[in-house]
Chains A and B, each alone.
Chain A
Amino acid sequence: MADRLAGIRYLLPRWSGKLGTGLIMVGLIIAFGLVAPLFAADPRDSSNKGLLPPSGSHLLGTTKLGYDVFSQLATGTRGSLYVGLLGGISAMLLAILFGILAGYFGGWLDEILMLITNIMLVIPGLPLVMVIAAYVQNTEGLGEFARSSTLVALILGVTGWAGSAVVLRAQARSLRTREYVAAARVAGEHGLRIIFVEILPNLVPLIAAQLIFGVMAAVLGEAGLSYLGLGPTNSITLGTMLNDAQTGQAVGSRAWWWFVPPGAVIALLGTGLALVNFAIDEIVNPKLRLAPQAARRQRRATKAGRGVAGGGAFA
């Protein structure tokens, strides 16, 4: 049992200032998206005056149509988080499917899966997403779903998995040759069991890092799509807010309180997620943590007069 716990602890990121800051930032934004819409005013209430600057009654002012920006921001954060999570998870599942199967089985399966992955990787993402979205959203028979945030998230997921698949494949390939995997194979375990029991658990930090990337990419992708007018129409996201601000000439009319907050939330969320990812990176690649530490230690030693003469390059 104690061994087991030690194993799990090994997979968890080390506590550091970066990780703490990142978790707090992400946590606050998630809490804002979950809780604030419950007590904020109706984001589609247009009875207010238009383009009011921030004040006591409207914390972040109002839009041209009189919507309360704070309420819109709260609902929009929730909408963006939903798209990010759904898009990130679907991209991650596809990346696991392609990356681990290709890396573990090798041979012709690897060739084919990697060919598909590499094609997806070099075809530029946003134009592809725009083309797919333009066709799908104008398809008859989808009804409400055609312009929903769920569909936008799925499109982003289906087009955004290739980079993670490459990373996972490389790691799965190297794990495949480890002794314990060979032992499992000799013991007669079949392929899928080896993948799920022996390989997948060791990929957890990497998958977590890729998931975080995926969520971020989906949030940014949704913002870009919505800004271009291809986002969901029946729900509010940070991207649709920016699109409204664009069509409402927010920049020209100097209504900074309208277009600055949604972008700032996206940037802060992205920064928070990236900080968490730094901590995970340091598990995956211990050199990133150990090398600066060693350099720091060496410099301290030199300063204390215990250094090696001519340690110049490492100072």
Chain B
Amino acid sequence: MRFYLRRVAFYIVTFWAAISLNFLLPRMMPGDPAAIMIGKLRRASGGRQLSDETIKGIYALLGADKSTSLWDQYLAYWVRLLHGDLGISSTRYPYPVATLIGNALPWTLFMVGLATVISFALGIGIGAWVGWRRGTWVDQLVPATSLLQSIPYFWLALVLVAIFSVQLHWLPIVGAYDPFTYPSGPQASWAFAADTIVHAFLPAVTIVVSSVGGWLLGMRNMMVSTMSEDYVLTAEAKGLTPRRIRDRYAARNAAIPSLAGFSIALAFVVAGSIVTEQVFSYPGIGKLMIQSVQGLDYALMQGVFLVITLTVLAANFLMDLFYGLIDPRVRTNG
């Protein structure tokens, strides 16, 4: 129980820290992001008068004049967030930030989530096998994984697009579905589902190829260490079949640290997917983030950063709960 309480406390503190960082950053800068943002909104609205509500919202998010104390601003900021009010976007005026994020999030979760699961399964599987066959020619494959890891995501994506889309015309270049076949947007049909998979294929392959190396290497090294444990020797002395020793004794225990390293790997995947989405113009969260940064749409940028952080925290939290479940040691050692 202590383990879970500690984890819950940690995530609450981290959640608070992420939001406070979001609050402090625009206020620590010597410039005035709120003024820039309101100027941008005016231009986006075509010179029409902005409603008081909108302007008040921007001040609450990005920093009011110096007469309001920082503490009052901080409280107002929390009130805004708890109401789900993330302000109005200037690059996609007049849509509220929350709506834009709501539209983009499913695409990213679909594509990145699928790619992460595939990459994890592949990495653990191949890693276990390579670790099992340590000391053979397979060891020569290990350094090759570092090549995969050092390839910049977006560069791999560019090369894949150049080969499979531009040169061979096998796969589409941009987007999450074909806007000419489906002009009215997403619909619930098999053909549409197939179209989304075709569009998600190259971005997902990019993420899998660049992230599988990390899983593989970690698993292989743990497998090598685990194989020299006494209980593996005991299992062997008992005359268990090699297969049983590999799957039940070595791989199961070797996979545990990989699960613990999930958070680090996840951050890697999130970062990679942002640039990958840019290459493919995939209409997900990453693309939205880039759009906001390039257009200095501070409200959108804050909102997207918040949502990305919360999603990653939630994923990590679930992983922690799961980890506590499969490895009782972390529960007792805290």
* Residue of chain B at shortest CB distance from A311: B236
From residue 15 to 54 of chain A, which have CB atoms closer than 8 A to chain B? 18, 21
From residue 89 to 145 of chain A, which have CB atoms closer than 8 A to chain B? 115, 118-119, 121-128, 130-136, 138-141
Which of B143, B153, B264 has a CB less than 8 Å from the CB of A275? B143
> Which residues of chain A are near B279, meaning CB under 8 Å?
246
Pick 6 A–B contacts, CB within 8 A, sort by A. A134-B298, A139-B29, A216-B150, A220-B150, A267-B151, A270-B147
Q: Are B150 and A267 in contact (CB under 8 A)?
A: yes
- Rounded to whole angstroms, the CA-CA distance of A132 and B30 in the bound complex is 13
The majority secondary structure among interface residues of chain B is helix
Which of B139, B159, B235, B290 has a CB less than 8 Å from the CB of A260? B159
Flag the segment in B68-76, B77-85, B93-101, B219-227 that touches A.
Answer: B219-227
Interface flag for A293 (CB, 8 Å)? yes
Which of B25, B30, B263 has a CB less than 8 Å from the CB of A141? B30
Q: Are A127 and B271 in contact (CB under 8 A)?
A: yes
Chain B min CB distance to A281 (Å): 8
> Which residues of chain A are near B156, meaning CB under 8 Å?
263
Q: Are B26 and A124 in contact (CB under 8 A)?
A: no
Interface flag for A196 (CB, 8 Å)? no
Q: Are A123 and B155 in contact (CB under 8 A)?
A: no
CB-CB under 8 A for A313 and B236, given A260-B159, A263-B159, A287-B228: yes
> Which residues of chain A are near B47, meaning CB under 8 Å?
none
Q: Are B14 and A122 in contact (CB under 8 A)?
A: yes
Q: Are B150 and A130 in contact (CB under 8 A)?
A: no
From residue 220 to 272 of chain B, which have CB atoms closer than 8 A to chain A? 221, 224-225, 227-228, 232, 235-236, 239, 242, 245-246, 263-264, 266-267, 270-271
Binary A-proximity of B276-304 (CB < 8 A = 1, otherwise 0) = 00110000000001100110101001101
From residue 249 to 301 of chain A, which have CB atoms closer than 8 A to chain B? 251-252, 254, 256, 259-260, 262-263, 266-271, 273-275, 277-278, 281, 285, 287-288, 291-296, 299
> Which residues of chain A are near B17, meaning CB under 8 Å?
119, 123
> Which residues of chain B are near A115, meaning CB under 8 Å?
10, 13
Q: Are A119 and B146 in contact (CB under 8 A)?
A: no
- B-side interface size class: 35 or more
Interface flag for A248 (CB, 8 Å)? no
Chain B min CB distance to A242 (Å): 6
Q: Are B224 and A266 in contact (CB under 8 A)?
A: no
- Rounded to whole angstroms, the CA-CA distance of A284 and B294 in the bound complex is 43
Interface flag for A56 (CB, 8 Å)? no
Interface flag for A310 (CB, 8 Å)? yes
Interface flag for A81 (CB, 8 Å)? no
> Which residues of chain B are near A122, meaning CB under 8 Å?
14, 263, 267, 312-313, 316
Interface flag for B193 (CB, 8 Å)? no
Q: Are A274 and B270 in contact (CB under 8 A)?
A: no
Interface flag for A223 (CB, 8 Å)? yes
> Which residues of chain A are near B290, meaning CB under 8 Å?
130, 228-229
Chain B min CB distance to A69 (Å): 15
From residue 112 to 160 of chain B, which have CB atoms closer than 8 A to chain A? 134-136, 139, 142-143, 146-147, 149-156, 158-159
- Rounded to whole angstroms, the CA-CA distance of A29 and B26 in the bound complex is 39
Chain B min CB distance to A246 (Å): 8
> Which residues of chain A are near B196, meaning CB under 8 Å?
none
Interface flag for B161 (CB, 8 Å)? yes
Knowing that A124-B266, A229-B293, A313-B236 touch, tell me 11 more A-B residue pairs with CB under 8 angstroms. A119-B18, A121-B264, A122-B312, A140-B31, A228-B278, A259-B155, A263-B151, A271-B146, A281-B221, A295-B134, A295-B136
> Which residues of chain B are near A277, meaning CB under 8 Å?
146
Interface flag for A218 (CB, 8 Å)? no
* Residue of chain B at shortest CB distance from A142: B30
Q: Are A299 and B135 in contact (CB under 8 A)?
A: yes
Q: Are B270 and A292 in contact (CB under 8 A)?
A: no
Interface flag for B166 (CB, 8 Å)? yes
CB-CB under 8 A for A287 and B271, given A139-B30, A274-B149: no
Which of B166, B167, B242, B309 has a CB less than 8 Å from the CB of A123? B309
- Rounded to whole angstroms, the CA-CA distance of A315 and B237 in the bound complex is 14
> Which residues of chain B are near A140, meaning CB under 8 Å?
30-31
Q: Are A220 and B18 in contact (CB under 8 A)?
A: no
* Residue of chain A at shortest CB distance from B28: A135
Q: Are A125 and B154 in contact (CB under 8 A)?
A: no
Q: Are A138 and B31 in contact (CB under 8 A)?
A: yes
Q: Are B18 and A123 in contact (CB under 8 A)?
A: yes
Q: Are B150 and A139 in contact (CB under 8 A)?
A: no
Interface flag for A224 (CB, 8 Å)? yes
Interface flag for B305 (CB, 8 Å)? yes
Q: Are B294 and A229 in contact (CB under 8 A)?
A: yes
> Which residues of chain B are near A121, meaning CB under 8 Å?
263-264, 267
Interface flag for A7 (CB, 8 Å)? no
Chain B min CB distance to A233 (Å): 14
Q: Are B166 and A119 in contact (CB under 8 A)?
A: no
CB-CB under 8 A for A273 and B224, given A242-B155, A260-B159: no
> Which residues of chain B are near A13, meaning CB under 8 Å?
none
- Rounded to whole angstroms, the CA-CA distance of A266 and B146 in the bound complex is 12
CB-CB under 8 A for A135 and B146, given A224-B153, A292-B135: no
From residue 175 to 221 of chain B, which have CB atoms closer than 8 A to chain A? 221
Q: Are B150 and A270 in contact (CB under 8 A)?
A: yes
Q: Are A135 and B33 in contact (CB under 8 A)?
A: yes
Interface flag for A188 (CB, 8 Å)? no
> Which residues of chain A are near B232, meaning CB under 8 Å?
313
Chain A min CB distance to B3 (Å): 15
Interface flag for B60 (CB, 8 Å)? no
Interface flag for B274 (CB, 8 Å)? yes
Q: Are A135 and B26 in contact (CB under 8 A)?
A: yes
- Rounded to whole angstroms, the CA-CA distance of A43 and B131 in the bound complex is 47
Q: Are B151 and A278 in contact (CB under 8 A)?
A: no
Q: A118, A133, A275, A291 — which one has the most chain B CB atoms within 10 A of its CB?
A: A291
